[in-house]
């Protein structure tokens, strides 16, 4: 049963999910290349070929794809808040270079593109909770619109050029190698602030409900999506249930044995009140379920943060 | 009941639908400005202020919006076939300048934006015929994706900035002032070729079913959408039933009393087999129905073409 493993390139391979994915692929015997502006943890990417480059630089992107079978596209060069402030830049930095990426993939014989979309933003204010993949997609932030546009272009490249693809609409991932850069990753931010006894800003009243999924489970889904032979193309990847921000805060305080210093700020218009996705399709088609209990994931994340964060420089929130 | 009519600017006002809309608005006492690269029929736009400009030129776009209440956005700088060949250019020429347009609209106090989307492409291969507005939107051409992205940005500008909007997903409009440029407008192309006894290329076997709507009916819908106070935002605008290309050919041959010289070509991947939209929502909310029987619309189109085309230069197909 030892079919040769496909060779892979991970765009965004130096980031949070990317670092976890590259490590798993390398450990499982895949030939792995990572492409990105920088590696958050270069020492952790042993055995992974590193291609430093900007996603908008077509020549670097094309060189990174060379002789790869599977392309993981985890890049999003713009954070949600920044995308709303400059929507054109969000399109220029994400949609336009993705079109160049896909065009090169289909011309160079790539077998499949696996794209990390956003389970937390593509649906907008969903009527149905948990939200299935078939629900209307009406984002209330520009980040969600550009993710959605990329999903549509993937389907179009398959239609026009036969380029195979899978889309994973990932909710709120958390875990080792996430550092709370650019206001992303509330769990990482809370843990980092707690470790340093720093105050942390919370937008809204803490009742917003989010769908957290442990990054190792996300990696399971990405790996499964690379070889899946089913007929579905778009999958929600979430933790299977929602948790309020207040619940998260309580869980972190309990595990860390300390009280967080919270600074409450007004809610933001891009925050939907509840975001929880239905994950039945991934279970049925990919044979994927989020295996890690939330408390276990949190424990491993805190453990990693305690060991690693003292050695890492984190910019102020 | 003589409330002052809003002042309007029609982006794409020199084109097919634009010319019809500007004439109607001017005749109904609106102050009308038209913006575009060129006017197809300048003499027909008496009483309409003309702003010549490129949609990608932000300064010209901003000047055209000055002191307008209602912005009609009918521009699409790329034709469906061309958009598939250069998707990035399609985004650059349509999505990016629309973001600049919307940003200026919300900053300059525009009351409403009415956008001409595409009923024939945003749904892709629809499961449900006739297709309601709530159906999945999975375009199989880049033109449909950029139209859809613009719809999503309109909703986002309302959410973030309170900019009011309406989207009309118009199917296949036909009527006076349509000339078969750039392969758009099969009815216009057939009539023009028939008048000149020229052969006409038909892609596919003629069984594709399309939803034709007379341009005066489209103008009715655009005018209604400018002042509608309902809670819906997106409306299908079609003829209420589908007609095969073969039916269209037969109807034209009958009305013109001559046989068309057809050259059959292979089907194109961007052509869905059937495209017919459900128009109940527009009937219920806008009080709009397509009033013109197809044969009457065709008669008026042929009459216009006979009178006008001998004086117009049409580039070869």
- Would you kindly state where each structural domain of chain B is located, as residue ranges? 8-311
Give residue A310's pLDDT.
Answer: 83
* Angle ∠(A198,A199,A204) on CA atoms, nearest 5: 150
- Distance CA(B317)–CA(B310), nearest Å, equals 16
**By CA distance, what is B134's nearest residue in A?**
A136
Across the interface, which of A91, A142, A160 has its CB nearest the CB of B269? Answer: A160
Identify the DSSP state of A309: G
- Distance CA(B34)–CA(B49), nearest Å, equals 6
CA distance to partner chain A, nearest, from residue B275 (Å): 18
> Is pLDDT at A162 greater than 90 in this prediction?
yes
Give residue B33's pLDDT.
Answer: 98
Percentage of chain A beyond pLDDT 90 is 85
CB-based contact A91 B95, cutoff 8 Å = yes
- Distance CA(A96)–CA(B8), nearest Å, equals 32
Give residue B267's pLDDT.
Answer: 83
Give me the residues paired with residue B169 across strands.
B117, B236
Catalytic residues of B: 143
Counting every residue, how long is chain B? 317
> Is pLDDT at A315 greater than 60 in this prediction?
no
Mean pLDDT in residue range A150-173: 97
CATH superfamily of A8-175+213-241+275-292: NAD(P)-binding Rossmann-like Domain (3.40.50.720)
CB-based contact A145 B152, cutoff 8 Å = yes
pLDDT tens digit string along A176-185? 999 876 567 8
If you count residue pairs, one on A and one on B, with CB atoms under 8 Å apart, how many are there? 70
CB-based contact A96 B99, cutoff 8 Å = no
Question: Which residues, in sequence order, are CB contacts of A76 under 8 Å at separation 6+?
Answer: A12, A94, A116, A143, A146, A147
ipTM: 0.94
Of A32, A33, A41, A43, whose CA–CA distance to A14 is shortest? A41
Mean pLDDT of successive 10-residue stretches along chain B, which has 317 residues: 79 96 97 95 94 97 97 90 93 98 97 97 96 97 97 97 98 94 81 92 90 98 97 98 96 96 84 92 98 98 93 58
Q: Which residue has the tokens 């034209």?
A: B252
- Distance CA(A282)–CA(A291), nearest Å, equals 13
Which structure tokens are listed for A33? 């290349």
Give residue B317's pLDDT.
Answer: 38
**DSSP E strands, A120-242:** 164-170, 172-174, 199-203, 209-210, 212-214, 234-237
CB-based contact A99 B91, cutoff 8 Å = yes
Across the interface, which of A87, A95, A138 has its CB nearest the CB of B155? Answer: A138
- Distance CA(B301)–CA(B256), nearest Å, equals 11
CB-based contact A136 B138, cutoff 8 Å = no
B149: left (phi over 0), alpha (psi -120 to 50) or beta: alpha
Instruction: For residue B225, give the H/E element and its range.
Output: helix B215-227
**DSSP E strands, chain B:** 8-11, 32-36, 49-52, 70-73, 112-118, 164-170, 172-174, 199-203, 209-210, 212-214, 234-237, 243-244, 261-265
Report chain A residues touching chain B, CB-CB < 8 A: 84, 87-88, 91-92, 95-96, 99-100, 134, 136-142, 145, 148-149, 152-153, 155-156, 159-160, 269-270
Across the interface, which of A95, A134, A137 has its CB nearest the CB of B91? Answer: A95
Can the peptide bond before residue B130 be classed as cis, meaning omega within 30 degrees of 0?
yes
Return phi, psi of residue B168, to 5°.
-110, 115
Give residue A1's pLDDT.
Answer: 45
Task: Pick from B145, B158, B165, B271 the residue to mutate for testing the A interface (most A CBs within 10 Å).
Answer: B145
Which structure tokens are listed for B204? 């596919």
C-beta separation of B37 from B13 below 8 A: no
Give residue A271's pLDDT.
Answer: 75
- Distance CA(A101)–CA(B225), nearest Å, equals 39
Q: Which CATH class is domain B8-311?
A: alpha beta
On whether the pTM is more than 0.90, the answer is yes
Across the interface, which of A100, A149, A156 has its CB nearest the CB of B149? Answer: A149
What are the Cα distances from residue A78, in Å, to A75, A133, B265?
A: 9, 24, 44
Task: Give A269's contacts in chain B (Cβ within 8 Å).
Answer: 159-160
- Binned at pLDDT 50, 70 and 90, residue A222 comes out as very high
C-beta separation of B150 from B102 below 8 A: no
pLDDT tens digit string along A270-279? 678 899 999 9
C-beta separation of B150 from B113 below 8 A: no
Report chain B residues touching chain A, CB-CB < 8 A: 84, 87-88, 91-92, 95-96, 99-100, 134, 136-142, 145, 148-149, 152-153, 155-156, 159-160, 269-270
pLDDT tens digit string along A224-274? 999 999 999 999 999 999 999 999 999 999 999 999 999 998 887 767 889
Instruction: For residue A216, give the H/E element and its range.
Output: helix A215-227
Pairing of strands B112-118, B70-73: parallel
A200: left (phi over 0), alpha (psi -120 to 50) or beta: beta
**DSSP E strands, B212-289:** 212-214, 234-237, 243-244, 261-265
Task: Pick from A148, A159, A165, A268 the residue to mutate for testing the B interface (most B CBs within 10 Å).
Answer: A159
- Binned at pLDDT 50, 70 and 90, residue A79 comes out as confident
CA distance to partner chain A, nearest, from residue B197 (Å): 35
Pairing of strands A112-118, A164-170: parallel
Question: Using only C-alpha atoms, what is the Rg of chain B?
Answer: 19
C-beta separation of A96 from A244 below 8 A: no
Across the interface, which of A99, A149, A269 has its CB nearest the CB of B159? Answer: A269
**By CA distance, what is B102's nearest residue in A?**
A87
Task: Give A136's contacts in chain B (Cβ within 8 Å).
Answer: 134
C-beta separation of A26 from A224 below 8 A: no
Percentage of chain B beyond pLDDT 70 is 96
- Distance CA(A52)–CA(B232), nearest Å, equals 47
């Amino acid at each position: 049963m030892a079919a040769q493993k496909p060779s892979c390139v991970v765009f965004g391979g130096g980031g949070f999910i990317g670092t976890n994915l590259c490590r798993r692929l390398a450990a499982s015997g895949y030939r792995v290349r990572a492409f990105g502006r920088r590696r958050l943890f270069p020492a952790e990417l042993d055995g992974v070929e590193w291609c430093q480059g900007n996603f908008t630089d077509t020549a670097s992107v094309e060189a990174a794809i060379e002789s790869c079978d599977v392309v993981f596209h985890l890049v999003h060069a713009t954070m949600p808040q920044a995308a709303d402030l400059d929507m054109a830049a969000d399109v220029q930095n994400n949609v336009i270079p993705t079109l160049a990426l896909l065009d090169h993939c289909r011309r160079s014989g790539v077998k499949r593109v696996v794209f990390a979309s956003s389970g937390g933003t593509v649906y907008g204010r969903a009527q149905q909770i948990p939200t299935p993949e078939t629900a209307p997609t009406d984002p209330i932030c520009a980040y969600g619109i550009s993710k959605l546009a990329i999903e549509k272009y993937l389907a179009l490249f398959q239609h026009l050029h036969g380029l195979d693809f899978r889309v994973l609409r990932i909710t709120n991932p958390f875990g080792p190698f996430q550092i709370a850069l650019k206001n992303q990753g509330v769990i990482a931010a809370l843990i980092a602030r707690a470790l340093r006894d720093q105050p942390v800003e919370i937008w809204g009243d803490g009742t917003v409900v989010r769908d957290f999924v442990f990054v190792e489970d996300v990696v399971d889904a990405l790996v499964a999506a690379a070889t899946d032979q089913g007929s579905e193309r778009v999958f929600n990847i979430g933790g299977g249930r929602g948790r309020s921000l207040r619940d998260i805060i309580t869980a972190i305080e309990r595990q860390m044995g300390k009280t967080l210093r919270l600074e409450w700020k007004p809610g933001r218009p891009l925050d939907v009140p509840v975001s929880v996705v239905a994950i039945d399709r991934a279970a049925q088609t990919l044979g994927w379920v989020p295996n890690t209990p939330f408390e276990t994931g949190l424990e491993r994340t805190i453990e990693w943060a305690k060991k690693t964060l003292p050695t890492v420089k984190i910019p102020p929130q």
